[in-house]
Amino acid sequence: MKIGELANMAQCTVGTVRFYEKEGLLSEPARTPGNFRVYGPEHLERLRFIRNCRALDMSHEEIHTLLNLADQPAEGCGAVNAVFDQHIAHVEERIQELAQLKLQLNTLRQRCRTEQAVDDCGILHGLAAMETEQKPERHTHLG
């Protein structure tokens, strides 16, 4: 199948297919004598795998690791579990960060409970006066 057909079947764009090829997540396809790319069912399966990992917010590094592990079917799945355990820890850390953000937003929102002139808006005054703290270094795959 051609790249457009592959993209359509995988519900993504041609650009996404090319990007994953460039990133080394999707193997280079065979070429026709006219130099057109020809993809097989294995490309579609792998592309769906990648997209499912991305839907779980996995990094390209994590996906590379999982693909390398998937290419060794006789090995144990302990390393797969380790990748997922680490990803779950990243998600838990992000949830904590988002909970803190929600608290800050709710605190600001409480400063302006009624409709009033913009000059008197407690949210805008709070934003202007707010001291931003140095963001702590993130230890997740998000950086």
Mean pLDDT, rounded, for 79-104: 96
The SS3 assignment for 38 reads strand
**Mean pLDDT for the chain overall:** 90
Per-residue confidence (pLDDT) for residue 52, from 0 to 100? 95
pLDDT cut 90: percent of the chain above it: 71
Which band of pLDDT confidence, cut at 50, 70 and 90, is reported for residue 132? Answer: confident
Q: Any alpha helices (H) in the chain, and if so which ranges?
A: 3-10, 14-22, 41-55, 60-70, 78-109, 122-129
Residue position matching structure tokens 């988002």:
98
Per-residue confidence (pLDDT) for residue 116, from 0 to 100? 83
Mean pLDDT, rounded, for 12-29: 94
